[in-house]
A and B are shown apart, each in its own frame.
Chain A
Amino acid sequence: MAYSNEARQHYLNEISGIKQAGLFKEERYIHAPQDAEIDVEFPAGAPPKHVINLCSNNYLGLSSHPEVLAAAHKGLDHRGYGMSSVRFICGTQDIHRQLENKLTEFLGTEDTLLFPSCMDANAGVFEAVLNDLDVIIADRLVHASIIDGMRLCKAMQDSYKHSDMEHLEEKLQEHQDKRFRMIVTDGVFSMDGDLAKMDEIVALGEKYNALVFSDESHSSGFMGKTGRGVHEHCGVLGKMDIITTTLGKALGGASGGCVSGRRELVEMCRQRARPYLFSNSVAPVIVYGALKVMEIVSASTERRDKLERNTIHWRKRLTEAGFDIKPGEGSIVPVMLYNAKLAQDIARDLFREGIYVVGFFFPVVPKGQARIRTQLSAAHEIEQLDRAAGAFIKIGGKYKILGKSKKEIIELYGM
């Protein structure tokens, strides 16, 4: 037997260490489709509790939309359950290409390639288009999947301070000797919900002859006037060299992602990106659902507009109540608590009040930056948000944090 007692004990100790550090991730069983209100079994074995969901990426409320469900059923009936193949052998149906074309049109790019997830798109894209003659200059708060993708690539890696355009410019000047420079950023940063200064980044890219890459996973479908993403919001639609995004958040929430951008770069991914080459095709049922999602978001901005109204309302309610929230316009609204135990205690108490949120603390966020990350959805009604705000105010009052500054919260609870 290869799995010795010594090996077992080693892993038990590792898991115990994770628990002692307060970093153990526990899954919560949801007994309902994804929506604004769901039934959550937590802890495991407890009767499911009906709660308002403020922690999903279901930004446009399309995860359980009846038209998307009907389309998915149709996909299942017409094109089967799975492809049993990678794309380039016998795994590409005409609908895969249709969806790629729709995404290209929507994102304002030249071509698109589907991946099993955006994690896979980010893991594969850099190695496919850059090599050791090149440099990647990344914002220091980019998503973990981008960091993994950069590590798989032979290009030199460099970084600039978060959203610091002067620092980015210094780096671009420093790397003028490289063949290609690629600026890499998230459109919306998942930790703080803030937006990349995409117009300034694109301008620097043009000035210093650098490619511009953005992961629009937390913005595709709803940022910008017609929901194209942060590049639309910042007025640089059509100027992005590479966009990666996901079908797993606003755009239906199932799974799948893509690389979209300059035609030749996308073709290089089709030829060389290993997660594309060695993973099964996105299932037909998801492609059909995603095609319907694209139809819905292209036809009307109704859901995007409702999300914007909900976000403004939620930010206003929390600010008026005296919570310390990260300023911004994104639909990720972090409630800052600074202390890890406080974040966990408040999340637990809110759950008892029927509000589902999760406390984030080190190492997910930097030390002393613990918070509860709330996320808005077009599926939310104002009445639900007011109910959630009421619970936040009740629990915030219990912990005496309302109207308190960062310094005062830290004085009360420590970092």
Chain B
Amino acid sequence: MTTTTIEVPLPEGILPNDLDLDLLKAIFQAITSLRYENFPQRTELQQRIQELGWDVKWGLTWIAEANRGHDFECATGKTTEEALYKLYHHTQMAKQCGCP
């Protein structure tokens, strides 16, 4: 994987915070994925799924992950709020193994 550095002039006194940087990263990742990803079979795969009777939709989404030792929880959402909200509830329900 290669990376490219882009310099963007910012107005006086503006410092991007972590959220801004995450957003910029996500936008460029989306552009890269959609425009330059080497995935010529995309349409073919979609068609194959549709031939089996599936209505196919795909798109960009947020993903939230949490690791704790052996435990792993993961949630996706159309917004960061949705993804983190779901992740929160997964972790709440996975607090302990529980009694049999």
Which residues in A have some Cβ–Cβ distance to B below 8 Å?
138, 140-144, 147, 150, 156-159, 190-191, 360, 362-366, 373
Contact = CB atoms under 8 A, between A and B. Distances in A.
B72 to A, nearest CB: 13
Main secondary structure of the interface of B (DSSP, over half): loop
Contacts of B89: 157-159
A364 B95 contact: no
Contact of B95 (A140, A157, A373): A140
Contact of A147 (B86, B93, B100): B93
A191 B98 contact: yes
Contacts of A143: 98
A363 B96 CA distance: 5
Please list the 3 inter-chain residue pairs (A to B) with the smallest Cβ-Cβ separation, ordered nearest first.
A190-B99, A144-B98, A363-B96
A326 B40 CA distance: 62
A56 to B, nearest CB: 11
Nearest to B90: A157
A157 B86 contact: yes
B97 A159 contact: no
Contacts of A363: 96-97
Interface residues of B, number: 12
A144 B86 contact: no
Contacts of A373: 99
A159 B86 CA distance: 10
A156 B93 CA distance: 13
A152 to B, nearest CB: 13
A140 B96 CA distance: 10
Interface in B2-20: none
A157 B92 CA distance: 11
B96 A364 contact: yes
B95 A159 contact: no
B98 A364 contact: yes
20 contacts: A138-B93, A140-B92, A141-B98, A142-B93, A143-B98, A144-B97, A144-B98, A144-B100, A147-B98, A150-B93, A156-B86, A157-B86, A157-B89, A159-B93, A190-B99, A191-B98, A362-B96, A363-B96, A363-B97, A364-B98
Nearest to B99: A190
Contacts of B99: 190-191, 360, 364-365, 373
Interface string B27-70: 00000000000000000000000000000000000000000000
Contact of A366 (B92, B94, B95, B100): B95
Contacts of B90: 157
A141 B100 CA distance: 12
B64 to A, nearest CB: 14
Given A157-B86, A157-B89, A159-B89, A147 B96 contact: no
Contacts of B98: 141, 143-144, 147, 190-191, 364
A123 to B, nearest CB: 15
Nearest to A371: B99
A357 B90 CA distance: 32
A138 B90 CA distance: 11
Nearest to A190: B99
A159 B94 CA distance: 11
Nearest to A57: B100
A156 B75 CA distance: 11
A229 to B, nearest CB: 19
B96 A366 contact: yes
Contacts of A140: 92-93, 95
Contacts of A138: 93
Nearest to A144: B98
Interface in B76-100: 86, 89-90, 92-100
B100 A190 contact: yes
A147 B95 contact: no
Contacts of B96: 362-366
A147 B92 contact: no
Given A138-B93, A360-B99, A364-B96, 20 more contacts: A140-B92, A140-B95, A141-B98, A142-B93, A143-B98, A144-B97, A147-B98, A157-B86, A157-B89, A159-B93, A191-B98, A191-B99, A362-B96, A363-B96, A363-B97, A365-B96, A365-B99, A366-B95, A366-B96, A373-B99
A57 B33 CA distance: 55
Contacts of A360: 99
Contacts of B92: 140, 159
Contacts of B86: 156-157
Contacts of A362: 96
